[in-house]
Amino acid sequence: MPGTTAYQYGNGETATTAYEGPTYGSISTTLSGGGIYQDKAVAVAAGDTFCASAEVVTAGAGNGSITLTVHLIGGVTESSSKQLVGVPGNNGWTPISACVTATGAHTTVRTQFYPGVNGPAMGIDAVDMHASKAKNGGFNIGGTDWSVGTGGTLTTYGAGVTGNDPFEGARFGAVTGAPVYQEFTVSPSGFEDYCASAYVASYGNSTGAGGSLVVSLITNHFPFPIVTTSQKDFTSLPGGNNWTQVEACASSVKLYDKVRVEIVPAAGTPPLLVDAVDLHPVLDAQSGMNGATHLWNTAAPAFLGLVTGSAAYEGGQSGAVSGVGGAVYQSIELPNDTDVCVSARVSAHTASSSVTMTARQLGQSTASSSKGASLTAPWRPLELCFRLYGHFPQRVGFEIASGTTRVDVVDVHASLVTNGGMSLIRPN
């Protein structure tokens, strides 16, 4: 865009290290509306939803600002944005995301970043954009597409009404009394995992809302359907604009007919606020590591166990990976020139641990992308994005550097953004 400067930086070239992989993007602008974007031709119908996310930082010292917008172009443009101000510098990488839902037809989805005009250069990495099955997941067009359980309420608000601003876009949802949910039929029959994420908060400036994000895979079976569920429970959420991201992934060993995503408010707590609900199928299996891990591979000397109860991030169990120098992975086979993003939650099971989440093409010594982390007890999200060349499987998983690390909600999915890792380097 006019007035915009864009670079790709490698590690060691600036005070900022790439969030993932060897390089990150850096942009600044002198003109309003300046920035970078990428268009993807998609036949968009009313109700279709797209979610974009990335990691951003002020490149070097300072506290810059940046806006991520998903535009639906062709016809009357529809957009949703998330602005961050006072973004930390150096290596204070911060997640950003937005979801847009079409109310009419469009031809193109545009993922765009606008740095603050005349502000410091902003770093961008791990850019992901994909279709979400959850329609109106941003509640930006009111309560459309959501069902409310008996005795429950769903109210949507814009900024400046309740003491909370939307996490993204124009509005957010407030849930009381019963679950709000969406259910859709999988055709002909699903055999994939589904992962969901959402941002949640407590109404007003109170602290204390709680509840669950639930993903269910439903098999029609007379007289009662078989429901395989995974859920992320949360309590004592902060209010104001302190939105918390939660994730859950469900796996089924049976073919299923329907998928449901639910936001369940806890009884006796303030209204539960929700925004940016994203639900999508994933390319890996046993993504939630809930009770079974036999589809995960181990490379010696790695060991994969399960931890339960409060040690798990969601769904009752998490994986626990150990064995320094080994790896726990799945082989993902994809068409040539596919863009893929991977996210997961990790936490130290021992007092501290370190692990590198890696995508590595079979036969290549250089990883397609990787994201290392030194961990203590709190759960941390990790993300990476890569572009697949050639027809060889990618090993996606965790390489173990020290201690035992808990892993959960391992979400491998195709992205509609090309080179989201900002490191378009072909393997040798």
Q: Could you write out the DSSP letters of every residue in 52-80?
A: EEEEEEESSSS-EEEEEEEEEESSS-EEE
Whichever of 262 and 408 has its CB closer to Ca ion, that residue is 408
| Distance in Å, CB of 220 to Ca ion, minimum | 26
Whichever of 93 and 172 has its CB closer to Ca ion, that residue is 172
> Edge-to-edge strand order for the sheet containing 327-332?
297-299, 327-332, 394-402, 353-361, 369-375
Contact in structure between 386 and 338 (CB atoms under 8 Å): no
Whichever of 28 and 97 has its CB closer to Ca ion, that residue is 97
Nearest to 113 by CA among 56, 48, 172, 171: 56
Q: How far is CA 37 from the centre of its chain?
A: 20
Contacts of 221 (CB under 8 A, 6+ apart): none
Binding to Ca ion by residue 284, rule CB under 5 A? no
Q: Which of residues 361-420 bind Ca ion (CB under 5 A)?
A: 408
Contacts of 188 (CB under 8 A, 6+ apart): none
Nearest to 277 by CA among 191, 215, 190, 210: 215
Whichever of 114 and 172 has its CB closer to Ca ion, that residue is 172
Helices (H) and strands (E) in the chain, counts: 0, 29
Q: Which of residues 256-275 bind Ca ion (CB under 5 A)?
A: 275
| Distance in Å, CB of 168 to Ca ion, minimum | 5
Whichever of 270 and 315 has its CB closer to Ca ion, that residue is 315
49 in helix, strand or coil?
A: strand
Q: Which of residues 317-346 bind Ca ion (CB under 5 A)?
A: 318
Q: Which of residues 169-188 bind Ca ion (CB under 5 A)?
A: 169, 172
Identity of residue 5: T
| Distance in Å, CB of 172 to Ca ion, minimum | 5
Whichever of 250 and 385 has its CB closer to Ca ion, that residue is 250
Binding to Ca ion by residue 278, rule CB under 5 A? no
d(CA 382, CA 236): 24
| Distance in Å, CB of 247 to Ca ion, minimum | 10
| Distance in Å, CB of 99 to Ca ion, minimum | 7
| Distance in Å, CB of 388 to Ca ion, minimum | 27
Residue bearing tokens 């900022």:
16
Whichever of 119 and 166 has its CB closer to Ca ion, that residue is 166
Q: Lay out the site mask for Ca ion across 128-157 (x = CB under 5 A, - = otherwise).
A: ----------x-x-----------------
Whichever of 13 and 165 has its CB closer to Ca ion, that residue is 165
Binding to Ca ion by residue 166, rule CB under 5 A? yes
Residue 103: which region, alpha, beta or left (left: phi > 0; alpha: psi -120 to 50)?
alpha
Stretch that binds Ca ion, among 152-160, 210-218, 282-290, 329-337 (CB under 5 A): 282-290
Contact in structure between 230 and 289 (CB atoms under 8 Å): no
Binding to Ca ion by residue 25, rule CB under 5 A? no
Q: Lay out the site mask for Ca ion across 97-126 (x = CB under 5 A, - = otherwise).
A: ------------------------------
| Distance in Å, CB of 16 to Ca ion, minimum | 29
Q: Which of 288, 326, 397, 421 binds Ca ion (CB under 5 A)?
A: 288
Residue bearing tokens 């876009």:
169
Whichever of 23 and 347 has its CB closer to Ca ion, that residue is 347
Contact in structure between 208 and 268 (CB atoms under 8 Å): no
Stretch that binds Ca ion, among 49-57, 232-240, 252-260, 281-289 (CB under 5 A): 281-289
| Distance in Å, CB of 120 to Ca ion, minimum | 27
| Distance in Å, CB of 190 to Ca ion, minimum | 19
Q: How far is CA 399 from the centre of its chain?
A: 21
Stretch that binds Ca ion, among 83-91, 108-116, 159-167, 278-286 (CB under 5 A): 159-167
Question: Which residues does residue 272 pair with via DSSP β-bridges, in sequence order?
Answer: 175, 202
Whichever of 140 and 394 has its CB closer to Ca ion, that residue is 140
> Edge-to-edge strand order for the sheet containing 147-148?
147-148, 180-190, 256-265, 209-219, 226-237
Nearest to 398 by CA among 371, 420, 374: 371
| Distance in Å, CB of 295 to Ca ion, minimum | 14
| Distance in Å, CB of 132 to Ca ion, minimum | 13
Binding to Ca ion by residue 315, rule CB under 5 A? yes
Contacts of 293 (CB under 8 A, 6+ apart): 286, 304, 306, 319
List contacts with Ca ion (CB under 5 A): 138, 140, 166, 168-169, 172, 275, 288-290, 314-315, 318, 408
